[in-house]
Structure 1
Amino acid sequence: MTTSLPVAIDIVSDVVCPWCYLGRARLNKALAQIPQTTVAINWRPYQLDPSIPAGGKDRQTYMMEKFGDAERIRTAHTQLTELGREVDIDFDFDAINVAPNTLDAHRVIRWAATAGPDVQDRVVGRLFALYFEEGADIGNPAVLIKAAGDAGMDKALVETLLATEADRPEVEQEIETARKMGITGVPCFLFEGRYAVMGAQDVQTLAGAITQIAEAKANGTLDQPAG
């Protein structure tokens, strides 16, 4: 079956969430398994910790304050590193020195949505890689500007906008809306604005969900109640 109408996928995510990075990689592998199905992806903002100051915090200190157990942190990092290898992610948690506030990153991601086809997803992917594989401070405006340019955005425009309050209230409102919807963890995949799949699901689960929704949409049965 070839689906002419794309399946809309909104992904609520934070770019400092390793499970969100895994979720994106697994989604890409799922889509590769169902090339006959087209999708329209839109990244939505979420902040795991909006209390982090604008300049960020020392990550080791932050992680100990948050989890309070070095062994627990090492165990989680080991698990994530192993899962990452399965989807070609090379996590390097030791390289991360700063726990950033991600509000500005989400502003850039918001602007990327109107910068051209697939630009937003490229920006998101680049920010994930910068943070989790290269240890870059993605709260740093210079890092954000370069990432935006690398993904095809207008660097000068991004630099100008970042120096202002442009879209800050809108991003904060989107984050609040996600919380009011009951989203307390990410990633959250929202299909066609109504069907939610929580967490970094495995490739087959994502592929199956997308295929089922695509078929229902193509057949005109998407909104019909289950018999």
Structure 2
Amino acid sequence: MIVEIYSDLICPWCYIGKRRLELALAERPRLPLERRWQPYELNPDMAPAGIDRVAYLAAKFGGIERARQVYGVIEETAAKDGIPIRLDRIRRTPNTLAAHRLVRLAGRSGLADVMTDLLFDAYFIESLDIGDRDVLLSKAAQAGLDPDLTRDYLASNLDVAAIRATESVARQLGIQAVPCFIFNRRYALAGAQEPTAFMPLLDLAAEEVEPVAQQVTPRA
């Protein structure tokens, strides 16, 4: 089974949604599943250096007080799922293109899940600027990626066009917000739903996979 997860690495609901998917999968421990992390920039026109957090919140919410109200709800929700998000400590809203590229690079070594975890933690718990190349290099090293290869990759334009193409396809499919989980490219679940909301789709997708598995299982 394949689940494609459209998300942005600065989206708190994507972080929460990831945790809830993991909780759902814990209820189906024998379910063969491949997670594919797909990019979806919330701010595709963001300046390469990002923007001061206060200025960003003022533009998005109309002021800090409104932002604090919204983020209070997010932090409370995240805490219930065991995620110690501290949005008030974030000082800069980054451009996430390079971070998405790093996840793609990590995926070639089977480390996309690890890289995604590290980047979510870096932004929401460590309050780091995940648009900063030094931060990305540090997290890549933690994930086990080759430092020289990663440095050269981030200094290039490799996969930029692929990221843009994937985002374009997502919007053509009607994805307008993240997270969005697509199972076997047929069934979609939008938003950071409770773990129980994943169960019907996991079971439905598993039913499609099982007959194929039975068909190719060799006989003794």
Q: Would you call these one fold, judging by a TM-score over 0.5? A: yes
How far apart in 2 are the matches of 1:16 and 1:98?
11
How far apart in 2 are the matches of 1:211 and 1:60?
44
How is 1:150-189 mapped onto 2 (pairs within 5 angstroms)? Answer: 150-189=142-181
The Cα shift of 1:219 comes to 3.5
Do structure 1's residue 132 and structure 2's residue 124 form an aligned pair? yes
Contact map agreement 1:37 1:211 (CA 8 A) in 2: no
Which residue does 1:71 correspond to in 2? 65
**Correspondence for 1:27 among 8, 13, 21:** 21
How far apart in 1 are the matches of 2:190 and 2:128?
27
Structure 1: stretches of 5+ with no match in the other structure: 1-6, 221-227
The code of the aligned residue for 1:82 comes to: E
The code of the aligned residue for 2:121 comes to: A
The Cα shift of 1:208 comes to 3.0
The Cα shift of 1:26 comes to 0.5
The Cα shift of 1:32 comes to 0.8
Task: List structure 1 segments (4+ residues) > 6 angstroms apart after TM superposition.
Answer: none
Do structure 1's residue 104 and structure 2's residue 103 form an aligned pair? no
User: What RMSD in Å do the two structures reach over aligned CA positions?
Assistant: 1.2
* Residue-by-residue CA offset, 1:184-206 (whole Å, 9 max, x unaligned): 10001010012111111110111
Do structure 1's residue 84 and structure 2's residue 84 form an aligned pair? no
How far apart in 2 are the matches of 1:204 and 1:137?
33
The code of the aligned residue for 2:202 comes to: I
The Cα shift of 1:216 comes to 3.2
Contact map agreement 1:81 1:91 (CA 8 A) in 2: yes
* Residue-by-residue CA offset, 1:62-117 (whole Å, 9 max, x unaligned): 1111110333211211111111112211011111001000000111111111112x
Which residue does 1:143 correspond to in 2? 135
Which residue does 2:218 correspond to in 1? none
The Cα shift of 1:217 comes to 2.2
The code of the aligned residue for 1:207 comes to: M
* Residue-by-residue CA offset, 1:15-57 (whole Å, 9 max, x unaligned): 0000000010101111111112121000000100112111110
Contact map agreement 2:54 2:64 (CA 8 A) in 1: no
Structure 2: stretches of 5+ with no match in the other structure: 213-220
**Correspondence for 2:7 among 7, 13, 27:** 13
How far apart in 2 are the matches of 1:77 and 1:126?
21
TM (norm. structure 2) is: 0.93
Contact map agreement 1:37 1:214 (CA 8 A) in 2: yes
The Cα shift of 1:157 comes to 0.8
Contact map agreement 1:149 1:155 (CA 8 A) in 2: yes
Which range is displaced more, 65-74 or 76-85?
Answer: 65-74
Could you say what secondary structure the match of 1:134 adopts? coil
Could you say what secondary structure the match of 1:91 adopts? coil
How far apart in 2 are the matches of 1:42 and 1:167?
16
Contact map agreement 2:17 2:192 (CA 8 A) in 1: yes
How far apart in 1 are the matches of 2:23 and 2:34?
16
Q: Percent identity?
A: 38
How far apart in 2 are the matches of 1:131 and 1:193?
29
The code of the aligned residue for 2:188 comes to: A
